[in-house]
Structures are given as structure tokens and as C-alpha cells.
Structure 1
Amino acid sequence: MAGLESITARPLGSPLELLSELDECNRELSMLCDALTLQRIGSEVNAPRPVLDGPQHGFLTTTIWLSSWLGEAWGASLKFLVDSGSQVEVDVTEARRFVHVLGRLRTFFAHNLDIDVERDRETRDTCYKWFKEACGSQVPAASQWIHCVVELLRGAVQYLKLAIEVARAIELHPDANKLCTVWRNRLNRTEVAVDYLSSLQRAAGDLGLDKVDLTGVRNRYRRRWSQAFEVMSTDVDVNDATARFMEQALLAETSAVLPITAREVMEVLGLQPGEKVATALRLSQVVHSLNRDLDRTQLVAALKVVWKRLVVGQVEELGTLSVQTRSQGSE
């Protein structure tokens, strides 16, 4: 019981005081970002603030709110600052630990974990360990959830204070201009600068799609787009990449379910499992989109014709060209 006694003996602090401290960190870091990059630090946080009328419910709403704010809305800026810690000689070990734990806690409460899956086991074990450190038990009792709320908010405050320390160190660094440019470029590839919904509206207009839930499409794909932009080369045209992402998402969302399967395609075209089967299915999608009235038999027949003309015929043509080239070379 010594561990539990040491936890309960800590100054508990007030969740409301910690929320107030988070608001102060929010303002300070937002102003630093504005001063150093001339950009907003992130997108608007849509998740509601925590409801602290009950400790367990308060913990759940705090987890969701912090994940939406720190992990998503401000994700690009905070990831940049944490990644830049070593360059400006700020130890961000605890910040990395907090980000990891916050992500696992959200998964723990928002998903049905499959303990046969290694990542899910790791999520469970990470959360049990954190609960033990926060309140003295791997499975908090009703009276212990308040300790978990306070510990989570303390961690968030520490995380933002480390981010502020990095930002101030960047401002004073000899390579400040370069670092600020990198930060600004990161933000230029997020919803801070790229309006996904407006881009989707333009793409939908170009594709003649007027009955698509564009807000739903944005919500389903926004994280995937953000991750793709994050690893994209800085010399890529953002507008062009955005248009391609939007168009691909809309095409995927509006593609009809094919009346044929990969097995049927392999049998009809004489293909072995592999990339050609995927190509043939994509070709089937094009053929089907040109004539939605085709039934299974008609689609298979049309696919055979198109496959022969576009694929088999092209291979034969390339073979003939290759023979001609070798013949000309020998002369």
C-alpha cells in the first residue's frame, strides 16, 4: 500500500486550475507561432471542453478533448516543436511520452481492443501502467478517477510548457529563420492553410458530383491527407496535390460496387493472383461506370474485349516495336 499512500499524499490540485493553466499556455504558444511563422498554430478545436461533474466522466471527456486539440488540431505544430527539441537543446522526452500515452488512452476508451493483436495488447498494458502510476491501481476505483484527471491535465500542461520552451529556443537560435520557415511550411500543408472542404467542393464540381456528403468525406479522409502532406517533398505543388487527393477520395467514395469479383476476373482473363488482377478490377470499374446497366455477364464480356485491346494488344505492339528496333540496330 506504500505506493497508493504516496499517490494519495500528493497535492491533488484542482482540475479547474489546471484547465486555466492550459488556457494560458494556449494563448502563449499561439502568439509565439503567430510571431514566428505568421500563421495560426493549428485549426479550430471542435471537441467540447471537459465536463468535470463526475471524475470518471471527466477523465473520458478530458482524454477526448486533449486528443482532438493536441493530437489533431495542433498536431502539425506540436510535432514540429517536439521534433525540433534536440536541435535547440531542449529535452522533450516527457513530451514524447505524454503524446504516446494520450494516444493509447484514447484508443483504450474509444475502440474495442482485440487482445490477440500485439498493438492492442501494448495499448492495454500502456494504459494499465499509466493508471497505476496516476492513482495507484491498474483499474481505477470510483474514488481514484479524480487522481487520473489531475495527472492527465498536469501532463498536458507540462507538454505545452515544453513546446513553449522549444519555440522560445527557436526564436533565439542562430538558425531561427530556417527553423521558422520549416515550421511555416508544415502549417502550409495543413488545414491551417488548405481548406479541405472548399477544395472538395471544387473537385466535386469538376467531376459533376452534386449528391455527395462532402463534410463526411472530409472527416473520413482529413487525417490521411494530413499524414500524406507531412511526408511530402517541399517542392511539390500543394494546390496540385490537394486537387489530386480530393479527386481520388471522391472517386473512391462514389464508385459503385462491382457485380464481379477478383476470382471471376482471374478466371475470365486467365490471370494469376497479383497486380494485374487489381489492374483488371480497376478497368472493370471504368467499364462499369460508363454503363451502369451492364449485368455480370455483360460486364465480363466487355472486360474481355477492353482488356485484349488495351493490355494484350499493347504488349504485342511493344514486342513488335522492340523487334523493329533491334533489326534497325543490326543494320
Structure 2
Amino acid sequence: MPQTASTPKDQLVEFVRLRERIDDLSRALLDSATPVFGSVSLPTPNVDAAPELAFIRTASWLYSHYKEVGRVSVKFLMERPAVQSLPEIRAHERLVHALRTWSQHTISPAPGNHDRAILKTCSDWFEEACAVLLPSSDEDWRQALNVLLGESCAFISQLTKQVEDIRADDARPQICQQWEDRISRDWPAHRFHEIVSTVASDMGRSTIDPVALFRRSENEIRRVLRITNESDLEFAARQCIERVLLTEVSKLLPITGRDIIDVLGVEPGQKVGELLQEARRLYEERQCTPEELLDRLLPLVGSA
């Protein structure tokens, strides 16, 4: 790996140079001329700003590269056998994800939970990078920033090497086809939203929020699209979304027991549960608004 510079500003310049290099290589290698990263909407961080702010913005900026604009190609290149033997490269990608979560979201660490694992990943790295569990001084943050950018340059250098190795590989056409196939299956979210909206309408479930449903089931829907052998990807996506609608949404009622108590005047108790069961049957029979469902339940209040 190349020697990295000694200041955050020089390291940032080196990262940008390496990013442009790998993008140029992938554009030349792939028939689709797709860059590994391309354009990142977040502004380039000002590493000369207050060190804590510079660190947080840099972590988010790197996350945008690895997990957003570069998510397909970065994952593909990290699956190359040579990278699988480099734990520090895989650890850096996981670290950036953890740092972004730790710095941008409220976490509630408790023994054994996911937030605890995020905090431990970050604190272990801080201890190694700047000899503190969590930075507090400008010196701590500046040192952490410098180490993070140095690791990011090593990370992108290794990805660049994988692209260069693919170019020289006897199986280059097959590897590039696999790479292109991954890219072609990575649809933007709005395309899935359109399919969800169409499927929901076709199934008589026009009250479904397509954006909310996709967010809830995005990992499963994208996974199916990645692994399916179906040549018609839109057909495969529709099949998966139909299954999600049938198995997930059918469990959700637009009303709760509190609505039955407050609107229909039913006393808390067994009758509320019985009416909820009947509400599910009515709702699965025909989707409707909360108000309509309560109206359909009203004649049953006395007999439930």
C-alpha cells in the first residue's frame, strides 16, 4: 500500500486522488462505464475545521462512499478472495458504518444488544487510534481523524488493486459480467416504490404507503433481486413484493383496541379482543380506512 501523508488535509487529498483513480479504472474496464463511486452528494469535509466536527463529517462522508454510492461495487470487490484474507480492510468498512451510527444517532448500549456492539467497535478503535476510549480534546479528535483518513486511503488502495487484478485476470470477461450483473440489479428506491404502488393497487390495498413498506422490507426485496435466476427482474421483484404484502401487511390493522374502546364505547376486556379478531377478518376481506372499519364493526358491538 502507498505511503500516506502526515496531515488530515494531505490524507484527504490522497483519498480523493485514489477515488478518482479507481473510478477511471472501473469506467475503462466495464462495458457500462460505471464508476465504483461516482458523485457523492455530501460536500467534501473541511478537515481544517474544529477537529470533532471534522471527524464526524468525515465519517459520514466515507459512509456515503462505502454504503451508498459505492455499495454495490465496494461489496463486490470486498468479496474478492485476496480481500477476504485482509481482516483490517473488512474491519475498516465495518468501522465507518459503526462510527456513522454512533455519531449521528442516539444509541442505547446494553449488554448483548446491537448498540452495545457499535459502541464497543468505536471505543476499541479510538483506544488504538488515540489512546482514549472516547475522544474529548481537540488533540484526541485530530489524531482520530488522521488515523481514520489513513485507513481510508489504505482501504481504497486495496480496492483499486482488486480492479487492476481483474483487468489482468484470465477470467476477466466472466468477472466483469458478474460485476455488471450486480450493478444492473441494484435499482434505485423509487423504482421499487412504483412497483409496490402498482402491486398494492392490483391487490386492492391502495391504502398502503409504498415508501414505508419498501423501507420496512428493503433488505429482503433487494436480496431476492440479487440472487434470483429469473431473467425478468421486474417480475421477480413483483413476486417478492406480493409475498411481503400477503405476509406482512395482512398482520397490520389500521385500528387498535384503544380505537374500539374510545370510538365504539366498548369497556376494556374480552370483548375488545373479540372485536379485534372480527376486525381482522373484515379487513382481510376488504381493505378500508380506519373509520370505515369501525363503522363495519359497530353492528357487532352488542353481539360480540
TM class, shorter-length: 0.7 to 0.9
Aligned counterparts of 1:111 and 1:70: Cα–Cα separation in 2? 22
Q: How far did 1:107 drift?
A: 2.4
Q: How far did 1:125 drift?
A: 2.0
Change (3 A) 1:282 1:169: farther
Q: Is the 8 A contact 1:260 1:296 kept in 2?
A: no
Amino acid paired to 1:114: P
Q: Specify the alignment match of 1:158 in structure 2.
A: 154
Aligned counterparts of 1:242 and 1:73: Cα–Cα separation in 2? 22
Change (3 A) 1:199 1:130: closer
**Deviations along 1:65-98, whole A, 9 cap, x unmatched?**
1112112220111111111133xx8853321111
Amino acid paired to 1:95: I
Q: Is the 8 A contact 1:85 1:166 kept in 2?
A: no
Q: How far did 1:37 drift?
A: 2.3
Change (3 A) 1:212 1:290: closer
- Overall identity of the aligned pairs, in %: 19
Q: How many residue pairs are counted as aligned between the two chains?
A: 274
Q: Specify the alignment match of 2:92 in structure 1.
A: 98
Q: Specify the alignment match of 1:8 in structure 2.
A: none
Q: Specify the alignment match of 2:111 in structure 1.
A: 116
User: Among 284, 287, 295, which residue is 1:286 paired with?
Assistant: 284
Q: How far did 1:297 drift?
A: 6.8
Q: How far did 1:220 drift?
A: 6.8
Q: Is the 8 A contact 1:200 1:246 kept in 2?
A: no
Aligned counterparts of 2:29 and 2:141: Cα–Cα separation in 1? 39
**Deviations along 1:258-299, whole A, 9 cap, x unmatched?**
3469x9899759xxxxxxx9xx98755333515752327728
Q: Specify the alignment match of 2:132 in structure 1.
A: 137
Q: Specify the alignment match of 2:262 in structure 1.
A: none
For structure 2, list consecutive stretches of 5 or more residues without a partner in the other structure. 259-268
Q: Specify the alignment match of 1:19 in structure 2.
A: 12
Change (3 A) 1:228 1:42: farther
Change (3 A) 1:283 1:298: closer
Normalising by structure 2, report the TM-score.
Answer: 0.73
Q: Is the 8 A contact 1:50 1:61 kept in 2?
A: yes
Change (3 A) 1:297 1:265: farther
Change (3 A) 1:90 1:138: closer
Aligned counterparts of 1:241 and 1:267: Cα–Cα separation in 2? 38
Mapping for residues 30-49 of structure 1, pairs under 5 Å:
30-39=23-32, 40=34, 41-42=36-37, 44-49=39-44
Q: Is the 8 A contact 1:18 1:153 kept in 2?
A: yes
Amino acid paired to 2:26: C
CA RMSD of aligned residues (A): 4.0
Amino acid paired to 1:182: Q
The reply on whether 1:127 has 2:125 as its aligned counterpart is no
Normalising by structure 1, report the TM-score.
Answer: 0.67
